[in-house]
Amino acid sequence: MNSFSQALDFIGRNGQIPGEPQLPTLVHLTLETIKIAWIGVGIALVIALPIGLWLGHIHRGSFVAINVGNIWRALPSLAVLAIGVAFLGLGLRNVELALIVLAVPPVITNAYVAIDGVDRDVVDAARGMGFNGWQILRKVELPLGVPLIFAGIRTAALFVVSTTTIAALTGYSGSLGDIINNEASYHLSGVLGAAMCIAALALLTDLLLALIQRVLTPRGVSLEKHPARTEAIGPPLAENV
């Protein structure tokens, strides 16, 4: 396909258009996109993980934890971004706030379901061996909950990476969304090239998190093939909008 090879050219030229003055390079925009995405995910994890894990540990708050996840799935991200712009105006802060709002729910819900769902017998056995609550969480529930927790983190991360492109629509510049939103200057080859970069970024993010998950999963813990468990919040794919 002609446009496909043109898109590869565009990537190869680091996002420059021959004959035009210096444009922000593809490398720069990609790094900016990564930066925005990871700040959002990072803050979301700091907020959501403790809450989700704790609620699961004390087996409370299931209504809130599960429904927060349901409501999240329904939120139109452009609308959330728009309301963010209305309150906070243009700028990184507003975009980050929207991304955090969108990233927190899947992490909370999955963390909750992960810990809450650990086999009660195993927990009782550990208690019988003299573990206190904190040790149970650290040594029993967390390791067993790794698969589901990471399913939530991966969903959130992919969602955030994809949503940063929409940020360009709300006037925030400095991400790959700039190229996609500006077909006038970059032409189809540029848009296609940037889209490929985002898709690649999303897949690489997922791979990286899968690797971390594998490292953290203790030997002997296998992923149970129970659909309700492995997919508490949607498929761990690019739940992108």
Partner 1 sequence: MKRKFIFGIVAAVLGLAVAACGSSSSTNTATHQKTQASQKSAGASKPAITIGDKNFPEEYILGSLYQQALQARGYHVTLKGNIGSSEITYKALTSGQIQMYPEYTGVIVSVLAGNTKPPHSASQTYTEAQAYVQKHGFTLLKPTPFYDTDAMGTLKSYATKHHLHTISDLKALGHSVTLGGAPEFATRYEGLIGLKKVYGVNPTFKPLAIALTYKALDSNQVQVADVFTTDPQLTLGKYTILSDPKNVFGFQNVAPIVKKSLIKSEGPVFEQTLNKVSALLTLDAIRKMNAAVELDKQSPSAVAHDFLKANHLT
Partner 2 sequence: MIVFANGPVIPNFGGGGSTFACERANRLFCPNWVSQNWSSVLWPALRQHIVLTVIAVVIGFAISTALALLAYRRGWVERPVVIVTSILYTIPSLALFELLVGVPGLGLSRTTAEVALVSYTLLIMFRNTLTGLREVPAEVRDAAAGMGMGSMRTLLRVDLPLALPAIIAGVRIATVTVISLATVAALIDDEGLGAPILQAISNEVFKTELIVAGGMAIALALLADGLLVLLQRALTPWARVHQ
* Residue ranges in contact with partner 2 by CB under 8 A: 3, 66, 70-71, 73-80, 82-83, 85-87, 89-90, 162, 165-166, 168-171, 177, 180-181, 183, 188, 191-192, 194-195, 198-199, 202-203, 227-228, 231-232, 234-235, 237-238, 240-241
Decide which of partner 2, partner 1, none touches 17; Cβ closer than 5 to 8 Å per partner kind.
partner 1
Q: What is the DSSP letter of 73?
A: H
**DSSP count for the chain of H helices, then E strands:** 11, 0
Residue whose C-alpha is closest to residue 175's, from 24, 45, 59 = 24
Residue 21 touching partner 1 (CB under 8 A): yes
Residue 133 touching partner 1 (CB under 8 A): no
Binding marks (x or -) toward partner 1, 171..210, rule CB under 8 A? x-x----x--xxxxx-------------------------
Q: Which CB atom, from 10 or from 112, has the smaller least distance to partner 1?
A: 10
217-to-107, 144, 145 alpha-carbon distances in Å: 17, 8, 9
Q: Which CB atom, from 89 or from 235, has the smaller least distance to partner 1?
A: 89
Binding marks (x or -) toward partner 1, 137..176, rule CB under 8 A? ---------------------------------xx-x---
Q: Which CB atom, from 155 or from 181, has the smaller least distance to partner 1?
A: 181
Q: Which CB atom, from 85 or from 103, has the smaller least distance to partner 2?
A: 85
**Distance between CA atoms of residues 29 and 241, nearest Å:** 19
**For helices 26-57 and 183-216, what crossing angle results, to 10°?**
40
**What residues contact residue 170 under an 8 Å CB cut-off, 6+ apart?**
78, 81, 82, 84, 85, 90, 94, 95
Question: Within its chain, how far is the Cα of 7 from the centroid?
Answer: 26
CB of 27 to partner 1, least distance (A): 17
Q: Which CB atom, from 184 or from 215, has the smaller least distance to partner 1?
A: 184
Residue whose C-alpha is closest to residue 164's, from 241, 72, 89, 85 = 241
Coil/strand/helix, residue 236: coil
Q: Which residues of 121-141 are buried (b: 16+ CB within 10 A; e: fewer)?
A: eebeebeeeebeeeebbeebb
Q: Which of 89, 133, 218, 235 binds partner 1 (CB under 8 A)?
A: 89
Q: Which CB atom, from 41 or from 140, has the smaller least distance to partner 2?
A: 41
Decide which of partner 1, partner 2, none touches 121; Cβ closer than 5 to 8 Å per partner kind.
none
Name the site residues for partner 1 (rule: CB under 8 A).
17, 20-21, 23, 89-90, 170-171, 173, 178, 181-185
